[in-house]
Amino acid sequence: MELLDVTLVDWSRAQFALTAMYHWLFVPLTLGLGVIMAIMETMYVRTGNEVWKKATKFWMTLFGVNFAIGVATGIILEFEFGTNWSNYSWFVGDIFGAPLAIEGIMAFFMEATFISIMFFGWNKVSKKFHLASTWLTVLGATLSALWILVANAWMQYPIGMEFNPDTVRNEMNDFWSILLSPVAMNKFFHTVLSGWVMGALFVVGISSWFLLKKRETEFALKSMIVGAIFGLISSLLIAYTGDGSAYHVAQKQPMKLAAMEGLYEGKSGVGLVAFGVLNPEKKMYNDDVDPYLFKIEIPKMLSLLGERDANAYIPGIRNIIEGGYETSKGTALSFEEKQRRGKAAIQSLADYQKAMLAKDTVAANLYKIKLGENYAQFGYGYLDKPQDLIPNVPVVFYSFHIMVMLGMYFIALFAVILFFTYRKKIQTTSWLLLISLFTIPLGYVAGELGWAVAEMGRQPWAIQDILPVQAAISNISTDSVKITFFLFLILFSALLIAEIRIMVKQIKKGPSE
């Protein structure tokens, strides 16, 4: 694989990030709103109360608008793997393509089959069959997320594979280890729960608008109760899965954890930064500049989260680069040693191919053995200097901490809303209704920040330790990537504006019989 210029790498990353960020404006609302409308239809079938049917139809209309545009952006995102990241697609397509293919065959077709019944079958099928179609549509959307997140988790923690030097491809040898990877399962639940929180914030916020306008009061109150209960449960569960995420990151991606906490010097019993401001003068990982202007820590909490031991050692950025500390797998290797092994693996692959062309099977077997011994550090052979291992610390640090603070705020908001609803004072508490309405955008912000932590935190890797981004891109013109970047920017912005206008129009119209 030939290394390409930095400008092409940056523009290819920017285009993929643009598409992914726009796509994630639509997906979480689909996941969350789908479950809420299914709960409301269940209430309608059980009670026969027409208000629940009215509520279901209203939220279903908004779900449909959001769902359609989310599908459009998602298709473009998958095509970019072939256009902009062809080296990546060749190198791991046998593995990465499998969950995406299953997503298309199983989950997407399930959604496409039952969504038509859900929208157009109200007076054509029985109540229970229609309810089943609604839940199956929601299940299809959730399964779609599962397979995509399994693929993403594999990039963060590549397992269940074997490298074939004859085809220069990684080939799957254990499907179930990929599907049931602890990283994949935790990522799935954490991500889906973030969508549930987003759906709950949306329902609560729009219901607040109706109460402020003193319109459709009964519909708004019922929607708000369902949204707040669902949101509070989801927010508490996402805190639990967030703890799981921290643990898996500490075990599988220690550099990401160090960036999340701005930790340059490792030690035992490390505290968790509750609030802090990074020092912009910190330029090098091994200088003597304090990484913080100031910080407030929770003592020993990072060690507890990362190793389940309050006194455990957590390596910092400098330690990860220099190596020498003890891990569960032995003594950590330095960057220089990993780079040496990576270059040895790359050279062994080239020597193996030459030996096979010369039909020298004895030499080929020796090179193959040497390749296998060093393959775990294959990607380090494409890196030039230790700084290449360090992600953008300020972006990762602030994204992580703002996301966590927003998550705590959402828990408090849902709890306060339920309290005032229980006291039957929610309709007269205009300040809380206004806060709920203007919190809707913060749900999107939290979701985008979560992905910024996940994806920016693992740089420079397209696949952790195996393939850096500069070796994963296609050998295409930088200008073509720039042109399509701006075309996508215009297209996605137009779609987003169109969705907002349609949704606002439907919200102002209100629920109808």
- pLDDT tens digit string along 461-481? 999 999 999 999 998 899 999
369 and 420 together in one domain = no
Q: What is the mean pLDDT of residues 24-45?
A: 95
> Looking at 43-151, which runs of residues are DSSP E strands?
none
pLDDT at 97 over 90: no
pLDDT at 1 over 50: no
Report long-range pairs for 158-166 (Cβ below 8 Å, ≥24 apart).
158/92, 158/95, 158/463, 158/464, 158/465, 158/466, 160/95, 161/92, 161/95, 163/371, 163/372, 163/375, 163/378, 165/349, 165/352, 165/353, 165/368, 165/371, 166/356
170 and 42 together in one domain = yes
Q: d(Cα 512, Cα 54) in Å, to the nearest integer?
A: 6
1 located within any domain = no
362 and 429 together in one domain = no
183 and 71 together in one domain = yes
pLDDT, residue 2, reads 42
pLDDT, residue 5, reads 59
248 located within any domain = yes
Residue 93, token pair as written in the block: 């397509």
Range list of H helices, 254-316: 254-261, 301-307
CA 464 centroid distance within chain: 16
CA distances in angstroms from 1 to 305, 339, 346, 419, 464, listed in the order given: 39, 17, 10, 60, 17
345 and 402 together in one domain = no
42 and 113 together in one domain = yes
313 and 359 together in one domain = no
442 located within any domain = yes
291 and 401 together in one domain = no
69 and 213 together in one domain = yes
pLDDT, residue 3, reads 45
Nearest to 492 by CA among 149, 104, 76, 29: 76
193 and 81 together in one domain = yes
Instruction: Please report which confidence band the pLDDT of residue 19 belongs to, taking 50, 70 and 90 as the band edges.
Output: very high
The number of residues making up the chain comes to 513
SS3 assignment, position 262: coil
Q: What is the mean pLDDT of residues 308-337?
A: 93
pLDDT in tens, 364-387: 999 999 999 999 999 999 999 999
pLDDT, residue 106, reads 76
324 located within any domain = yes
Could you say which DSSP state residue 380 is in? G
Q: What is the mean pLDDT of the chain?
A: 93
Residues spanned by the domain of 366: 333-382
184 located within any domain = yes
Which of 330, 358, 374 lies at the terminal end of a domain, its last residue? 330
Q: d(Cα 329, Cα 158) in Å, to the nearest integer?
A: 17
The total of structural domains in the chain comes to 3
15 and 65 together in one domain = yes
513 located within any domain = no
14 and 83 together in one domain = yes
